[in-house]
Structure formats: structure tokens, C-alpha cells
Structure 1
Amino acid sequence: MRLIKKNIGVVVLSVGIAGVACAGAPNVIVIMADDLGYNDLGCYGCKDIPTPHLDKLAGEGVRFTSGYVTWPMCGPSRAGFLTGKHQSKFGYYENVSAPFDPNQGLPKIETIASLLQKQGYTTGGVGKWHMGTTDDQHPNAMGFDDWFGFLGGGLMYFPLDHPSYNGRFTPIKRPLSMKYMQHTLPVIHNREPVEWDQYLTRELTDAGIRFLEKNADKPFFLFMSYNAPHLDLEAPEETIAKFPADQMTKVPGVKPAARSIYGAMVYEMDAGIGQLLAKLDALGLAENTVVWFLSDNGGMKRTSDNRPLNGAKGSAYEGGLRVPMFVKWPGKTPSGKVLDAPVTSLDITATSVAMAGGDPIAEGLHGKDIRPYMTQQSTEAPHDVLYWHTARSIAPVGVIREGDFKLIIGMKGKLELYNLKDDLGETKNIAASYPEKAQAMKARWLEWDKDKQPPLWTGGKNIQYADYDWLKDSQHYKAADIKKGNE
């Protein structure tokens, strides 16, 4: 079997000629959870899932109560963060559903990784990609010198031959649903498949630690893109045992058994992040490393606690778009500060580029350099207005937040207006009471939405096989001549 061992050194694949990092430029780590609920960390009020390492990180930096992503599901949200641009402006409206459909995924575009490469950074990514699988969409071709992870939208949390699966995936029965096409792709290091033999969250943490060890003597950017706590609900039995179902917080719509396993998944992710942060300390890197944390969208209805917000993953309400978000910049961000002004994942990209010595405005990024706000050199809110295009097409459906007011523009022009200061749970639609305000905000959103682009793709073919080298020896591989029926 053509596999490489997981304890290999980091292979740097040069993409273009890197610049030289500006003196004093900090290392940057962005840690992204997948489908984490707003209220599922201790620092946001969670009572049933201990998250001591993330709570400590938030307590040593600044925590945002109005941290937003650009879409309420993972694909477009991640496309927004990775490019630093509103994804509707380049036609990215839905998840990659069929990973081997070459029409789906990112177009040729700069990413946070390629922008930091230009500033002399070594760039690494670990975990979930979900931005397409063609050679041009591979992370190595999109600015990541080093990538360890998987290219689909999720992955089973144990190797496919794990006893708990009872032979379900070995061999895989054809045809696979689109979900399990995503969740059974191989783990790869750059363009080679690797062996792995432990719980996925632990595997990804180990890969992140290896990247830190190999790049401790140079400016680096690391994107830790955890799969947890995305479905399927899986965790080591000994960890699940720490979360008895009858002792979990009662969350409307969430079964206690599901909450138990979900709690174990969040706990494992927090433990892994603790190991990463400890490695930063051990390597003497902590004082010159900025660490961001966020979720890619709101938590799922079946597993998460998004209270006091309304809605969940997939929703244009706050529970779909507002996420846990905080940052520690040692010596710069005040410890334990809670900031209420709205910020977005696009700001993480723009700020990181600015920290590295780049110019986010010249690069055409849509976020803002929020260093003055996050360090509290300025208390002025970074944004007076925020926009979202939330349709899975070019339909005029979206959200605008202007100060404390939020307008949801629904199908057929339905308007919902909320005052988030007075009604964070979005329980009372006040559009009829403030018709002029609602119409003015709608007009402002429509003006912003004018330059949206046609969809990069519509629909998708559930292609079962591909001939990428990194798929060889997996059950998804077939050479081109075989796929065409020339067996």
C-alpha cells in the first residue's frame, strides 16, 4: 500500500518566490472548530462541557461577543475566511457536495496562505479543506507550503477499518451517498496518503505540533482546521464516559445521548488545543504568536447549544452566523477584555495580512485591519454596517446589520427587522413598526449586492472515483482509462 508514515518531517512545497517577513512580524495561528455552538465553551457560559484551555486562551486575550462568519454553513463560510472576501463576490454560494466534481470548489484566487507566503511566511494547514479536490484546488496549489488533513467536507473520526464500524467501510459498498463520499477520503500529507491509527482530533493535533516543531525558527502561519464537533458523532469510549447523558445540560431539540458524545468531541478538541498551546510555550514561541479561535458557523440543532441566540447552522438568524471568537496577541491585546462591537472572520484575514506587513486594502480584501480595536488603542467599532448574501444562488436573499439593527431579507422580499440590543434572541419582528428603517436598510443591502457574481457551479454529479495520485490504494481511485470503461 502506497502510504507514508505519519511521523514524517514537514515537506515544504514552494509556491512562487516568497518575500522576507518584516521585522517583528508575529507568527499567526487560526484555530477553527466545525459546527461549534455559541454557548458550548465555558467562556461563553457552557456548564456541562469543560473547556479549560480555550477558556484560558480567551481569558488571556480579547473575546468578541459579536463575532460573525460570512455564511451559516461551512463551505461558503470557509471560502470567505480563506480568501478574505465575501464569497458571493466570486460566486461561491453552497457547499462542495460532490468532492470529485471538478466544477465545484474554489476558483484560482489568492488565499490567506498565499498572501502570507508573499510576506515571507511558511504556511501550513491541518485538517478539513472542503474547497475542491482538483490539482489546482489542492491546498499546496492555494498557498499552503504544507498540508496534513483531508480534502472533503468531513471525515470519520476513526480509520475506516476500526472495529466500531463493523466492516461498514471495508470494502465500501457502492454507490456511496455524497455525505460518505466526503467522509471516507484518505488523510493526506501534501499529495501523499498517510497511515493513521488514532482518534482524528488527536491525529490532527499531532500534525499541528509537528508543524510547529519544524518551523520554530521562521515566521509561520498555521491554519488548524479541526473536524470536531461536526457529525458523525464519534469519540473515544473513555472520553464519552466523562459525560453521562443524564448529567448533560438540557438543550431544546437535543437528545441527551447526542449531547453526551458531542461534549466528548468538544472536550477532545479543547485538550488538543491545550497541547498546541503548550508546545508554543515549550518552543519559546508563545510571546510572538497571535492565536485566533472561531467556529466556521453556528452549532447544529441536533447537538449544540446556541442560546441565547435564535437559530442554528444553516439559519440567517444569529445562531447560524454569530460564533465564538477570540484572539490572544501577547503584549498587545488586553487580558480578559470582552468586546461587543461586531467583527467578522474577514477581519481575521485582513488583520493577519496587515500584521505580516502586507496591505489588505491593496489586496482587495473585504475585511478590516482591526488591530486598533482588538488592542483597545481605539474603542471605535470597526464596522458601521455588515452584509451577508445568504441565498444558495444569486437570489436577493441576505442580511444587513447596521448598528444594533439587523434586517433579514427573505424569499419573495419578506423582511424581518430586529433590535439586537433589546432582543438578542430575535423574538419580535419590528419591521412593521419601523417601515422606513427596514426599507432603507434593504436598499443599502441591494446596493451592496449588485456586484455579486454568477454561481461557480449549480448542482453536482456524485462522481464515485477519481484518478488523483493521493487517492491510489484507496477505494475511491480508478485510473482515467478505467473510469471511461476501457477496462
Structure 2
Amino acid sequence: MLADRPNIVLIISDQHNKHVMGCSGHPYVETPNLDGLAAQGVRMTDVYCPYPLCAPSRAGFMSAQYPSDIDVYDNGGSAFFSSQTPTFAHALGAAGYEAVLCGRMHFGPSDPFHGFERRIHGDPSGRAVSPEILGSGLNRTNGQTRYAVEVAGHGRNGFQAFDASVTDTACEFISSHKGDRPYALVVGLMLPHNPLICSHEDFEYYYEKTPTPEPEPENYLDRLHPALRRWRERRGVDALSPEQNRRAVAAYLGLVAELDRNVGRIVSSVGEAADQTAIFYTSDHGDMCCEHGMWWKSSFYEGSAGIPLIASCPGRFGAGTTSSSIANLIDVGPTVLDLASAPPLPDVSGNSFLRLLEGGEIPDWPNQVFCEYSGLLGDQPACMIRAGNWKLNYYSEFDSCQLFDLSTDPEERNDLAGRAECSVIVNQLKARIHERWSADDILEAQARQQRAAKVIRGSRRGARPHDVEDFVPAEDSDNQFDFSQLPAKPVGLE
């Protein structure tokens, strides 16, 4: 019998393409543990991140607000995620839950807790993929650089070691938990975030399964929106060969398989308390994984802006069901609070979709979400809206947009923005964006933060470190990569 106030385990990975799971229909990847979780609960198919970049999306996740509402615009902006902003961790604590964070959350150094009562494992250190890890050869491979794809292959990187450590710590907490208070454990995993380096066994297995990606159709780039042409040019993806993309896809699938095994360990550790525990799985954003010939995040395509979401709660959520209701990562916190009978967060954009998970209806559910973006590699402010079957991406740099009908064009190949018959819906969706979002306001806020950041960075040089230690992998066992496996010497950014 499910307790009225169940224990809650919320697993959030990093950069997981929602299409790359067996339960979402991927033809090659094997994810038996995520598939099993979906078979026991609900898989939501149309959930989006609030921002396709780590720190802003996670700040939105914790606060149930869009990043522009809390002034977090890039990964460095985590320093500006105010400790005065209420999070769902604060509300869980107010409801009597033991709110615990284990692993990745990309909080800034000034506040590593943001409402959590305890933090039993820190974030990965910046040294996890850097020259300080001797002999790794993996520096620059955790960002959006062509080099990260060029050196894809097998080995072991610091993020794999990090996830193994986080998983061990989470399993120990769950299996040994005692006491009268229910717990809410948020487990932050790094995989399948690049470096695109997976185990030798996984790489060989998925390399054999993965076909060489087909080149984009002739004149494809000429037909792309100029914002996306600029995106590709800045990251150098058009110079990648089909073989390099194939190796990178195989490595990404291998990392997802490793992620799945870690999820399986965490779920198994619940053991006999399964009927008193709700389990959620999601990710901060996706990864293009060579869809449209692109990699990483920072775009509004489904592979980047869409996220997986699976929720299991025995006796309360329907088993083996799916929901196509449109939701956002900022809705997860309110849903968890609703499930825990905790006080709701005030003045937020996120909404609880608990009734949807329980098989009911929410008559006034908006079925509309936004996704914002700004600031990496010179990218200018942009905003996406998904409303019903329509998806519009607005690019302020060009004051123009893309429009897709996802009911007939799920791969987003047919941009309808220039069609006369679509002008009404284009204007309606653009108006909804501009009701709540301003590129000028964002640019002004970013400029203020950049000026402030110069002072903050200088002040930290002599600061006492906080009590939560970042994870640094062992030099003799992690971050090992054999460049001899590559068919040709990798070429760095030009």
C-alpha cells in the first residue's frame, strides 16, 4: 500500500536525448532499466526543458520558474541563482521531508544547497576533464567543440567515474535510510553528457549496430534558417565526416547504456520499500546526437529542447501508460510537491501535472510551454513556444522565426513560417512569446551580470571553500583515452 507521503527518488541526468531509449522507440540503444521504469509507470512524450543549457535549465527546474524570470542565462549564471529564490527543496523541508541532494546540480559556489537539508555528494570538479588529470587527452571535449566529436571512441572519462560514485552514494542512502520522516532524494547524474567516450565493450557493440549517418540533402544548408547556419558555423559541425559522426553516435549510445545501468542500480536499491516510493526520471535538456547533422544542446529542435520524463508510483500512477500532454521541466517540482502534500511554491510558472500521472484530466492545463536561450558562443536571445501541434522558434538576432506542425512533421524538416496560410498562427505565437519575454531586457541583464562577474571572480581567489567537496576522479584510473583507436589524427578547432 502506497504511503500517503511516499519517499521520493528523483533522478536527473545531463543531456539525454528523449528519443534515445528503448521505450521511446530507438532502434539500437538498449535501456532495460528505463524501459522497466516506464512499464511500471507513466512516460510523458512531450516535455521540454526551459532552456537548452545546463545551469539555467536546472535553476528553472529547482525554482519552477523560467530562467529569464530569475536572471540565470548561462552556465556561469549559476552564481546569480539567488539563495532567496524558493525551490521545491525548501517546500519539501517545510512539509517535513528530509530533502537530500546527491551529485550534479550545477549550483554556484555561493550556495551549494538551495533548500536541500543535506548534500551527500558534490558536483564534478572542473578538473574532471582537464590537463590536470595526467594523460587524459580529454581537455576541451566536454563542451560544444568539433574536437569533442572528432575524438569520440572508447575509454573512460571523469564523468563516468563521477556517476559511479554518485550511484554508490545514492544506493547507500536509500538502502540504509531509517527514521520516521519520509525522504526526497534528488540524484544528479552527468551521463550521457560528453566527452563522447564510453567503455570499450559498449563502443564496439553500438558501433556495429550504428549505420553511417546519411549526409544532409543537397542545398540543405541554404534552406536553413540563418540562426541555425550561424550555430553550425560557430561549432564547426559541417566539417565532420560521416565516419566521425558514426563513432560519436556509437559512443553516445554507449553512455546512455551506462546511464541506464546506474538508474537500474538506484531503482533496485529501493527494494522492499518500492510500494512506498515514487521514482521520477528526467534530464536537464537533450543532445542532438547527430539529428539534423548537429550535436549537443543549445537549439530548439526536439532532440535538444525535448527531455525524457518517466514517473512511477505503485498503486497511484497507471502502469505502462503514456501521456502526450505538453509540459516543461519547471512543472516537475510542483508535481513532486503535490504528491508530497507539501506547500506550493508562490508566484511560479510551473504547474503540477500529478492528475495526469494518475490518469485523470486537468481541464485548464495550458498545453503550452516556452523554452528560452541566449548567450553561448555569441548566440543571441531566442525563444521557442510549443502550443498544441505547433512549434515556433523566434530568433531575435534576425527578428524572424521557424514554424513546424509536429503532428505532420515530427522531424522538423518543413519550415512553414513563410507560408501565407500560416501567417495568422505565426503572429499569434509570436505575440504569446513577446507577452512574457524580451530580448532587450535579457541583453541588458546579461551585461549587468558580466560586469558583476568580474568583481565576483576576483573576490573568490582568497575565499574559503564551502563544505561540499567537488568530485575529482583518480588520476590513475579515470580519464584514459587511447588516440591510436582513431582512423586518423584528430584535428582541433581551426
Q: Is 1:269 aligned to 2:252, yes or no?
A: no
Distance in 2, Cα, partners of 1:197 & 1:177: 14
1:148 matched residue in structure 2: 121
Instruction: Pick closer, same or farther for the CA change 1:156–1:206 going to 2, 3 Å.
Output: farther
Q: Retained in 2: the 8 A contact 1:33–1:229? A: yes
Distance in 1, Cα, partners of 2:192 & 2:469: 28
1:444 matched residue in structure 2: 432
- TM-aligned CA deviation for residue 396 of structure 1: 6.2
1:20 matched residue in structure 2: none
2:153 matched residue in structure 1: none
Q: 1:28 is paired with a residue of what secondary structure?
A: strand
1:408 matched residue in structure 2: 393
Q: Is 1:457 aligned to 2:420, yes or no?
A: no
Distance in 1, Cα, partners of 2:174 & 2:384: 39
Alignment of 1:36-55 (within 5 A): 36-55=16-35
Q: Is 1:213 aligned to 2:175, yes or no?
A: yes
Instruction: Pick closer, same or farther for the CA change 1:417–1:377 going to 2, 3 Å.
Output: same
- Cα offsets for 1:132-189 (capped at 9, x unmatched): 112xx112x54242330226579449x976xxx42779xxxxxx98979xxxxxxxxx
Distance in 2, Cα, partners of 1:207 & 1:444: 44
Instruction: Pick closer, same or farther for the CA change 1:431–1:128 going to 2, 3 Å.
Output: same
Q: Which one-letter code corresponds to 2:195 in the other structure?
A: D
- TM-aligned CA deviation for residue 413 of structure 1: 1.6
Instruction: Pick closer, same or farther for the CA change 1:251–1:448 going to 2, 3 Å.
Output: same
Q: Is 1:422 aligned to 2:392, yes or no?
A: no
Q: 2:30 is paired with a residue of what secondary structure?
A: coil
Distance in 1, Cα, partners of 2:277 & 2:368: 30
Instruction: Pick closer, same or farther for the CA change 1:381–1:69 going to 2, 3 Å.
Output: farther
Which of 170, 174, 186 pairs up with 1:223? 186
Q: 1:132 is paired with a residue of what secondary structure?
A: coil
Distance in 2, Cα, partners of 1:56 & 1:286: 14
Q: Retained in 1: the 8 A contact 2:206–2:254? A: no
Q: 2:426 is paired with a residue of what secondary structure?
A: helix
Distance in 1, Cα, partners of 2:469 & 2:263: 32
2:283 matched residue in structure 1: 295
- TM-aligned CA deviation for residue 392 of structure 1: 3.3
Equivalent pairs counted in the alignment come to 415
Q: Retained in 1: the 8 A contact 2:125–2:470? A: no
TM-score by length of 1: 0.75
Alignment of 1:83-482 (within 5 A): 83-96=63-76, 103-134=79-110, 137-139=111-113, 142-150=115-123, 155-156=128-129, 165-166=134-135, 199-217=161-179, 218-241=181-204, 243=205, 245-251=207-213, 255-281=245-271, 284-300=272-288, 304=289, 313-360=297-344, 363-378=346-361, 382-392=365-375, 397-410=382-395, 411-432=397-418, 433=420, 434-449=422-437, 454-455=445-446, 457-458=449-450, 467-469=463-465
Q: Retained in 2: the 8 A contact 1:62–1:337? A: yes
Distance in 2, Cα, partners of 1:384 & 1:270: 29
- Structure 2 residues without counterparts, runs of 5 or longer: 144-157, 215-241, 473-494
Distance in 2, Cα, partners of 1:179 & 1:104: 23
- Cα offsets for 1:211-258 (capped at 9, x unmatched): 2134343311111110111122344445545x2523334445663333
Q: Which one-letter code corresponds to 1:299 in the other structure?
A: D
Instruction: Pick closer, same or farther for the CA change 1:124–1:156 going to 2, 3 Å.
Output: farther
Identity rate of aligned residues, in percent? 22
Q: Which one-letter code corresponds to 1:233 in the other structure?
A: L
Distance in 1, Cα, partners of 2:270 & 2:468: 35
Alignment of 1:57-72 (within 5 A): 57-72=37-52
Q: Which has the higher helix share?
A: 2
Instruction: Pick closer, same or farther for the CA change 1:398–1:473 going to 2, 3 Å.
Output: closer
Q: Which one-letter code corresponds to 1:223 in the other structure?
A: V
TM-score by length of 2: 0.74
Instruction: Pick closer, same or farther for the CA change 1:443–1:246 going to 2, 3 Å.
Output: same
Q: Which one-letter code corresponds to 2:174 in the other structure?
A: L
Distance in 1, Cα, partners of 2:159 & 2:73: 35
2:13 matched residue in structure 1: 33
- Structure 1 residues without counterparts, runs of 5 or longer: 1-22, 170-175, 181-195, 477-487
Distance in 2, Cα, partners of 1:178 & 1:52: 28
Q: Retained in 2: the 8 A contact 1:404–1:419? A: yes
Instruction: Pick closer, same or farther for the CA change 1:146–1:428 going to 2, 3 Å.
Output: same
- TM-aligned CA deviation for residue 327 of structure 1: 0.8
- Cα offsets for 1:429-460 (capped at 9, x unmatched): 22333212211221122112269773472375
- Cα offsets for 1:373-420 (capped at 9, x unmatched): 111122758323222332339976312222211221112320222211
